[in-house]
């Protein structure tokens, strides 16, 4: 944990003109401030300090930090949103490049191809909607029917703008629901009319929320849950005099949600929730209290721990990997998970349960190695301040969630930062934990053989390479966002980007499915390529860490090379861009017959002449291979 003088350190850095130079430190400080509930004002102050710093200077000094460009438009005054975004992006190690357009200019910005936002092509466009958009259009006096007409027309306009924006393919458009305030409902003196107004308003918001179903490039943030947590919607004076129809506090809470979205956009969504056990997942100390003595279900504290387990189980059902790391006797932990009658989480819910007396940070590092993940994929929850501090110091990439002796607060503290948020859930997500448990069985199977070659032969690996279909677009996008090790160029694509490539006659989007004697691993890889005359250029090649060390990548590349030659290609070009954790694939193309051709400082380019293509690895069966057009 950064010391209490962190806010003062930011002021010192700002006074010295060092915020850009020390931006990684700034990110750590803002992250620490954001973890402290009373520090909301300090985070806002950090955003205002960062608003004075040129993002280009930060990126020049720290080229490895991902930057996200954000266009901000809407109906009211939104000047407070840019600094809030800068702070929220910083706490995730990102650089925000916000641009705020003119007042009430959202129609032109979204609808005119020559507008400022259209020309800038930002990664995210935030069109911030507020209640005044509707109530500014109603007559005085007004009735619920007047509001219904105005809301229907306004939502129809936004639907048309979203449709136009989606067709233009200019990144991700973020909309939001419009909160209904008492200032408006109280102007109706009978409860029947108020009920009618509430129904009308919710119908309009339901139409907004449905836009995400119809337009893959649209995200809709529901503001009602934020308001329900006590965040005020409007300030009468600022709304009247400055046309700031949403409070700074609500814009800050909204910016927090956008920070989660930006984190997903650059591939930094977390994958694994690692839970301590004693006084975190259940009450009491298992070694002292025994299986029958721990608190889980029954009694108010036991019910609180049970509620937390149910939240973790809910996350696990959507593809979040659950693991436990505890200083405990492993046999006793096994008994508790199997035998305690009130336990919501059982052994089968975890991909790994680690119980021993080693330091937690060492166990987390070992767990990452066994799962084939980076520790920066982990969210760690522990009630011990000592253990949390040790993990923060030794493994700074791990997101650490502070919980204490009040288990009723555990769920809120875990959920408030949206560590696992993603654009779209796929079928692969729901079966991911089972895939990792199958992988554990594979590793146990390996121990039975004297050589890797014998193991691979008996594993019976099956690989299918085929042209990707529309339902696979979301999963391929997810691979580009979540895969960091076998990711040759680091290119991140949203689902709409993948679908656009699939419609391009010069593009080749391939999906890779893998199975073996232990089951179907699913869609675990993708090849994104493009034809340039008689050259096929591989723009990116991705493979999930779950199928490493089986030569799947060589089999896929063999298929691509043979396909290119059959189509009359003169050569295949492929790129490698160093970055993050993909160093292990730097020599992938040279190892497979490619020769170095160019280096522009950011990308290495390789060429395969297609004169000699070795056969695929002998232990792999290429099955159901469909000719790609």
**Domain spans of the chain?**
66-265, 272-415, 441-622
460 pLDDT band, cuts 50/70/90, is confident
Q: What is the mean pLDDT of residues 250-263?
A: 96
pLDDT of residue 288 exceeding 60, the answer is: yes
Q: What is the pLDDT of residues 586-617, one digit of tens each?
A: 999 999 999 999 998 889 999 999 999 988 88
Determine contact, residues 238/192, Cβ cutoff 8 Å.
Answer: no
Predicted pLDDT at 3? 44
Highest mean pLDDT range out of 73-87, 364-378, 426-440, 455-469? 73-87
Give exposure, 254-292, as e/b (b: 16+ Cβ within 10 Å): bbbbbbbbbbbbbbbbbbbbbbbbbbbbbbbebeeeebe
The two domains 66-265 and 272-415 share their CATH topology (first three levels equal): yes
Domain 441-622 fold: Aminopeptidase (3.40.630)
Element (H, E) at 148: helix 144-168
Of all residues in the chain, what percent carry a pLDDT higher than 90? Answer: 71
pLDDT surpassing 60 at residue 42: yes
Q: Which residue reads 């691509």 in tokens?
A: 560
* pLDDT given for residue 1 in this prediction: 38
Instruction: Output the pLDDT for position 121.
Output: 86
DSSP 37: G
Measuring CA to CA, which residue among 523, 318, 316 is closest to residue 422? 318
DSSP code for 471: G
Q: For residue 507, is pLDDT > 70?
A: yes
Residue 624 has pLDDT above 70, yes or no: no
Distance CA 447, CA 87 (A): 49
The Cα-based distances of 14 to 5, 17, 55, 359, 424 in angstroms read 14, 5, 14, 38, 39
Rounded to whole angstroms, how far apart are CA atoms 131 and 245? Answer: 8
Q: Is the peptide bond before 163 cis (omega within 30 degrees of 0)?
A: no
CB 275 within 8 A of CB 367: no
Per-residue model confidence (pLDDT) at position 628: 41
Residue 44 has pLDDT above 50, yes or no: yes
Cβ partners under 8 Å of residue 445, min gap 6: 455, 458, 459, 518
Mean pLDDT of 318-347: 95
Residue 329 has pLDDT above 60, yes or no: yes
Nearest-angstrom CA–CA distance, 559 and 482: 24
- For residues 92-116, give the mean pLDDT: 90
The end-to-end CA distance of the chain, in Å, is 55
Classify the C-alpha dihedral 414-420-425-431 as positive or negative. negative
The set of long-range contacts for 456-461, using a CB threshold of 8 Å and a minimum separation of 24, is 456/550, 456/551, 456/617, 456/619, 457/618, 457/619, 458/517, 459/516, 459/517, 459/518, 459/550, 459/619, 460/516, 460/517, 460/621, 461/514, 461/515, 461/516, 461/550, 461/551, 461/552, 461/619, 461/620, 461/621
pLDDT at 446 > cutoff 70: no
* Mean pLDDT within 614-627: 75
**Residue holding tokens 């937390």?**
308
List, in order, residues 6 or more apart from 335 with CB less than 8 Å away: 291
Please give the model's pTM, rounded to 2 decimal places.
0.84
Per-residue pLDDT at 444: 67
| Phi, psi at 608, each rounded to 5° | -115, 125
> How many of the other CB atoms lie within 10 Å of CB of 438?
16
Confidence of residue 551 (pLDDT cuts 50, 70, 90): confident
Helix crossing, 81-91 with 248-265: angle to 10°?
40
CATH 1.20.1250.20 fits 66-265, yes or no: no
Quote the DSSP letter at residue 627.
P
Are 438 and 520 in contact, with CB atoms under 8 Å apart? no
- What pLDDT was estimated at residue 427? 80
- Look-up of token digits 């050569």: 571
What pLDDT score was predicted for residue 2?
39
Give the pLDDT band (50/70/90) at residue 627: very low
Q: Which pLDDT value is given to residue 433?
A: 81
Total residue length of the chain: 629
pLDDT at 160 over 70: yes
Mean pLDDT of 418-447: 79
Residues 6+ apart with CB under 8 A from 587: none
pLDDT digits (tens, 9 = 90+) for 232-254: 999 999 999 999 999 999 999 99
Average pLDDT, the chain: 90
For domain 272-415, the CATH superfamily is HAD superfamily/HAD-like (3.40.50.1000)
Q: When comparing pLDDT for 176 and 623, which is higher?
A: 176
């Amino acid at each position: 944990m950064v010391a209490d003088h962190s806010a003062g350190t930011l002021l010192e850095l700002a006074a010295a003109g060092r915020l850009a130079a020390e931006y990684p430190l700034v990110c750590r400080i803002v992250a620490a401030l954001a973890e402290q509930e009373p520090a909301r004002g300090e985070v806002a102050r950090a955003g205002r300090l960062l608003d004075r710093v040129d993002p280009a200077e930060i990126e020049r000094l720290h080229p490895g930090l991902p930057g996200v460009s954000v266009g901000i438009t809407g109906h009211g005054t939104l000047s407070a949103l840019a600094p809030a975004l800068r702070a929220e992006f910083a706490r995730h190690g990102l650089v925000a490049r916000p641009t705020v357009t003119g007042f009430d200019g959202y129609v032109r910005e979204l609808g005119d191809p020559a507008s400022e936002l259209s020309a800038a092509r930002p990664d995210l466009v935030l069109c911030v909607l507020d209640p005044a958009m509707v109530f500014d259009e109603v007559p005085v006096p007004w009735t619920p029917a007047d509001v219904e007409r105005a809301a229907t027309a306004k939502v129809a306009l936004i639907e048309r703008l979203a449709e136009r924006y989606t067709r233009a393919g200019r990144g991700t458009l973020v909309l939001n629901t419009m909160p209904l305030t008492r200032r408006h409902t109280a102007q109706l003196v009978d409860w029947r009319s108020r009920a009618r107004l509430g129904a009308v308003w919710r119908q309009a918001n339901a139409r907004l929320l449905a836009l995400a179903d119809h337009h893959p490039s649209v995200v809709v943030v529901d503001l009602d849950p934020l308001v329900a947590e006590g965040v005020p919607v409007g300030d009468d004076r600022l709304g009247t005099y400055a046309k700031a129809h949403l409070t700074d506090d609500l814009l800050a809470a909204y910016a927090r949600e956008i920070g989660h979205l930006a984190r997903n956009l650059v591939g930094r969504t977390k994958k694994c929730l690692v839970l301590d056990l004693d006084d975190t997942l259940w009450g009491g100390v298992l070694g002292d209290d025994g299986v029958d003595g721990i608190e889980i279900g029954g009694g108010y504290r036991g019910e609180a721990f049970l509620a937390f387990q149910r939240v973790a189980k809910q996350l696990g059902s959507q593809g979040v990997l659950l693991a436990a790391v505890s200083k405990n006797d492993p046999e006793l932990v096994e008994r508790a998970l199997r035998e305690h009658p009130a336990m919501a989480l059982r052994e089968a819910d975890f991909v790994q349960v680690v119980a021993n007396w080693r330091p937690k940070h060492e166990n987390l590092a070992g767990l990452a190695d066994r799962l084939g993940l980076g520790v920066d994929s982990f969210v760690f929850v522990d009630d011990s301040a000592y253990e949390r501090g040790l993990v923060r110091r030794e493994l700074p990439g791990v997101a650490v969630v502070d919980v204490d002796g009040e288990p009723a607060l555990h769920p809120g503290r875990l959920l408030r930062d949206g560590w696992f948020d993603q654009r779209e859930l796929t079928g692969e997500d729901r079966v991911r934990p089972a895939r990792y448990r199958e992988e554990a069985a594979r590793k146990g199977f390996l121990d039975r053989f004297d050589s890797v070659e014998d193991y691979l032969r008996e594993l019976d690996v099956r690989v299918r390479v085929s042209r990707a279909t529309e339902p696979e677009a979301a999963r391929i996008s997810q691979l580009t966002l979540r895969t960091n090790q076998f990711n040759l160029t680091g290119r991140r694509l949203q689902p709409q980007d993948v679908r656009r490539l699939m419609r391009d006659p010069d593009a080749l989007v391939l999906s890779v499915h893998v199975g073996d004697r232990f089951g179907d691993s699913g869609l675990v890889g993708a090849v994104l390529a493009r034809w340039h005359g008689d050259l096929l250029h591989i723009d990116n090649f991705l493979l999930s860490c779950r199928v490493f060390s089986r030569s799947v990548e060589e089999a896929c590349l063999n298929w691509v090379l043979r396909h290119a030659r059959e189509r009359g290609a003169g050569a295949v070009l492929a790129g490698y861009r160093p970055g993050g954790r993909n160093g292990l694939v730097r020599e992938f193309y040279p190892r497979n017959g490619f020769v170095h051709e160019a280096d522009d400082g950011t990308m290495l380019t390789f060429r395969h002449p297609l004169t000699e293509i070795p056969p695929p690895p002998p232990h792999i069966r290429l099955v159901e291979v469909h000719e790609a057009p």
